Amino acid sequence: MEEKIYTIVKEGKPVGPFSLAELKTLGVKKDDFIRKPGMDDYKEAHEFPEIRELLGFSKQYTPPQYFAGFDLRLLADAIDWFIIFGMAILLELIFVLILGFGQKETILMFTSGVILLPLLKFIYHLYMESQRQATIGKALLNIKVTNLQGLPPSFQEVLVRNLSKTISTALFFFGYFYLFLNKQQQCLHDKMANTLVIKDRLI
């Protein structure tokens, strides 16, 4: 016998529990609130994969409402630069100590490292934003990169976003200040890549 685990809100009151099969006879709608054991709160019916499959619902997505402002982005970027610079210096020191470089070789290595920092940061952003939606700096501030629907961005979107930062920078950083000109606070590179940087709530 199928387990009865679904509680549904009807006329403002929770009723049930019901089995998955019983939900089909109740005329459940996409936006009906349903809860299963172990859940902290109710979710809409379309958010359950098994209910979508049973009733032929499509998952609905709530557009993002809260966007990361210039201050959060700047602070996140500063944290990321600090992390990348610190890791680069640490690795170079290890190489110098292990290989026993002289003064000239050490200066050359550190100079090369500084030149390569933008490339390292590009690779870092590309990996972290495509795999985790956020760099360490963004994650610490509870902001993340999404597509326009608030879903994880594709690798192509993240690639375009980070390549387009060169344009944002080349325009005397106007591309970054572009976020003050639109409600979704997109920088120019976000606009070009169809991405957003969002936060979970207003405060």
Task: Look over the chain and give the mean of its residue pLDDT values, rounded to a whole number.
Answer: 87
Q: Averaged over 120-125, what is the pLDDT?
A: 94
Residues of the chain with pLDDT > 90, as a percent, come to 43
Return the pLDDT at 125.
96
Read off the pLDDT of residues 65-116 as tens digits, 9 standing for 90 and up: 889 999 999 999 999 999 999 988 888 888 777 877 777 777 776 787 778 8
Q: Averaged over 149-168, what is the pLDDT?
A: 93
97 or 131, which is more confident? 131
CA angle, 172 as apex, 77 and 127 as ends, to 5°?
35
Return the pLDDT at 71.
94
Per-residue pLDDT band at 136 (split at 50, 70, 90):
very high
Q: 177: Cβ–Cβ under 8 A, 6 or more apart, which residues?
A: 70
Quote the CA–CA distance of 90 and 85 in Å, as a whole number.
9
3-state secondary structure 30-89: CCCEEECCCCCCCEEHHHCHHHHHHHCCCCCCCCCCCECCHHHHHHHHHHHHHHHHHHHH
Return the pLDDT at 82.
94
Read off the pLDDT of residues 167-186 as tens digits, 9 standing for 90 and up: 998 888 899 999 999 999 99
54 contacts 23 by C-beta, under 8 angstroms: yes
Whole-prediction pTM: 0.68
One-letter identity of residue 164: S
One-letter identity of residue 196: L
For the sheet containing 43-44, what is the strand order?
Answer: 13-18, 6-10, 33-35, 43-44
- Structure token digits, residue 188: 């120019």
Q: 201: Cβ–Cβ under 8 A, 6 or more apart, which residues?
A: 66
Residue 32: C-alpha distances to residues 26, 35, 36, 62, 153 (Å): 11, 10, 13, 15, 28
Using the predicted structure, report yes or no on whether residue 203 has a pLDDT greater than 60: no
193 contacts 166 by C-beta, under 8 angstroms: no
DSSP state of 182: S
Residues of the chain with pLDDT > 70, as a percent, come to 95
